[in-house]
Structure 1
Amino acid sequence: MFGKLLTAVTTMPKLCRMILTDKVAVVTGSGRGLGLAYARALAAAGAAVVVNDVDADAARAAAAQIEAAGGRAVAEVAAVGTTEAADALVRRAVDSFGRLDVMVTNAGVLRDKVLWKMSDEDFDTVVQVHLRGTFTCARAAAAHMREQGTGGRIIVAGSPAGQRGNFGQTNYSAAKAGIAAMVRTWSMELARADITANAVIPVAATAMTKTIAAFAPHVEALEDHGTPLPDALRKGEGFGTPEDAAPLVVFLASDAAAGITGQCIGIGGDKLALWSHPQEISVAYADGGWSAEAIAAAWPVSVGRTPETVGVPAPGTGL
């Protein structure tokens, strides 16, 4: 099965450099981690970038870092989630650089607890930032892009947890699953305006993955000593650095990705992947409909013969 899924790199067409010199991008939650890697990569490709973070010092330091490297960047301090914050981000892009071409919604928080211990506040905080924040920022960007009339790119942050669920992350998994569903919907709604919508599903060494026991020592070694991640992680788990995930954002922001929309695309380490959309995988029919008893009899020998697995696979298990 693995052989069928693997695409040999020898089949790739000749590579061309992504040039974004005429693009303006907003990247939420870009003061550090994955967001900073996205902002730096977009700027290195020539895009002007609005760096956003709730931490003012982090946002301004990130913008200064981009400018010091020869890029164009401004900082906009805001906690994403509200309409006001989303509108302010779009306005900052237009006021500073004259237009908006790319909206990258990366900002997020965690409040991990098992279901019976998760409070209303734990749930609402994560949904507000991830799901509502993605919605409000994408809505504000889409409205401006449609008025601008030159197309655009909406690139959102998904997660393996949103594709498969993850223990202790009811709120986060639900938000990320909702984000994936929104992307599919927006790809249809925005197609006539030449605006694409895609989700990036990154797996990278961040403060979040540092909490996973199997990844923690490798993330710490990378942070403290610059120790490269081993091939067992980069290839076997598709686990890399934030910088490994950034090229996908640059690609999706480029003209080369004009025909790609409604997709959830995974990246991490040496691995690039396309996630499937939910679909029926097994069906059965009964003349006149199904009784509960008939379902019970048919389940183990028909649609329920091979139930779907759940959860993010544990490192090294291959599940």
Structure 2
Amino acid sequence: MSLAGKVAIVTGSGRGLGLAYAEELARQGASVIVNDVDAATAAEAVATIERAGGVASAVVAPVGPTATATALVDAAFERYGRLDILVTNAGVLRDTVLWKMSDDDFDTVINVHLRGTFTCVREAATRMRDQGEGGRIICIGSPTGQRGNFGQTNYAAAKAGIVGMVRTWALELKRAGITANAVIPVAATAMTATVPYFHAAVEADAQGEPMPAFFRHGLGFGTSADVAPLIAYLASDAAADVSGQAIGVGGDRLQLWSHPEPVLSAYHEGGWDAAALEAEFAETVGAQPQSIGEKFPPLPDELQPPQA
């Protein structure tokens, strides 16, 4: 699965999952453009990759504006002569319930996650098409975008939108040999570190100890290192026929998320008027409501978080 000679951009790669993606791509031989809004963080990420024998350089800029997308792609061509892989990982959180969410809370998350993915992919795909040698677009989604999550209207909208765009891009870019996929990671991050349910897993990871099997196998919840190999695989020639997919990964688990499909159909001669809906909805499509949100099994006693 060598990526030797390939050039990658990973947005939001100064730390956390994004850094793990950049490190793995470099480990497999790709030259990597690292991106972060903080210069010191970006410089340390580059140094980390170089200490491991990889090749990397940084672009310090906020993801969202077209100017940043252009700067990232220009840097790939100016420093390494080409572009083969784009991983859109940059993101922010502004969590709060609907009735407390401000316009700024909503717009900030949508701008970085959704608009930032769009602007970066548009610029990268345009240059990949001109280059004429195919390419790989890998966009980072979330279980929240697939299932919804309390307090994350903005984040759910952005992540669901990213998967929708990926499906569209897989169609539009096929002729150019460019694949587009979404990865749905489930891993210890700054966000999950604040959730009491995951305390035992996050604590184990922080101490360099193996996560309990309850999390790794039962929930498919793991570390950044568990997610990164899928990024490298999708970036490789081995995944040339994989496109338009939403693939979950975490701990010991790999998942293929289904595309939305009708699960039940009902027909009424002449169409559905109000009376017909009132009479028949509950026993037709209303008889099979779809679940919402993530459902987690009870924690075993030994994995309960400490009481405050």
The TM-score with structure 2 as length reference comes to 0.95
Q: Whole-Å Cα distance in 1 between the matches of residues 298 and 61 of structure 2?
A: 39
**Contact 2:201-2:215 within 8 A present in 1 as well:** no
* 2:23 equivalent to 1:40: yes
CA 1:69/1:170 → structure 2, altered by over 3 Å: closer, same or farther? Answer: same
Q: Does 1:67 align with 2:50?
A: yes
What value does the CA root-mean-square deviation take over the aligned residues?
1.0
| Structural mapping, 1:5-44, within 5 Å | 18-44=1-27
The count of corresponding residues between Structure 1 and Structure 2 is 299
Q: 2 CA distance for matches of 1:170 and 1:26?
A: 28
CA distance in 2, matches of 1:274, 1:110: 25
> In the alignment, does 2:154 pair up with 1:171?
yes
Cα distance 1:315–1:131, how it changes in 2: closer, same or farther (>3 A)? farther
**TM superposition outliers: structure 1 runs of 4+ over 4 Å:** none
* AA partner of residue 178 (structure 1): G
| SS of corresponding position for 1:273 | strand
Distance across 1 between alignment mates of 2:114 and 2:294: 20
Structure 1 residue 314 corresponds to structure 2 residue 296: yes
Over the matched positions of the two proteins, sequence identity in percent amounts to 64
1:145 aligns with: 128
Amino acid paired to 1:130: H
Structure 1 residue 315, shift from structure 2 partner: 5.0
Q: Is the 8 A contact 1:214 1:315 kept in 2?
A: no
Give the drift of 1:221: 3.4
In structure 2, how many angstroms separate the alpha carbons of the residues matched to 1:152 and 1:233? 34
- Residue of structure 2 in register with 1:183 after alignment: 166
Name structure 2 gaps, 5 residues minimum. 300-308
Amino acid at match of 1:206: T
- Compute the displacement of 1:148 (Å): 0.3
Distance 1:130 1:267 in 2: 20
Which of 265, 268, 281 is matched with 1:299 structurally? 281
Cα deviation, residue 314, structure 1 = 2.9
Contact 1:162 1:177 in 2 (8 A): yes
Report deviation, 1:266: 0.2
3-state SS of the aligned residue for 1:235? Answer: helix
Alignment of 1:117-128 (within 5 A): 117-128=100-111
Q: Summarize deviations over 1:19-39 as a string: whole Å, max 9, x none.
A: 000210000000111000000
Q: How big is each residue's C-alpha offset from its partner over 1:158-182, in whole Å with a ceiling of 9 and x where there is no partner?
A: 0000001100000000000000000
Letter aligned with residue 75 of structure 2: R
Aligned to 2:242: 260
Contiguous gaps of at least 5 residues in structure 1? 1-17
Q: Does 1:227 align with 2:206?
A: no
**What is the identity, as a one-letter code, of the residue corresponding to 1:234?**
R
Post-superposition offset of 1:220? 2.9
For 1:270, the equivalent position in structure 2 comes to 252
2:196 alignment partner, SS class: coil
- What is residue 56 of structure 1 aligned with on the other side? 39
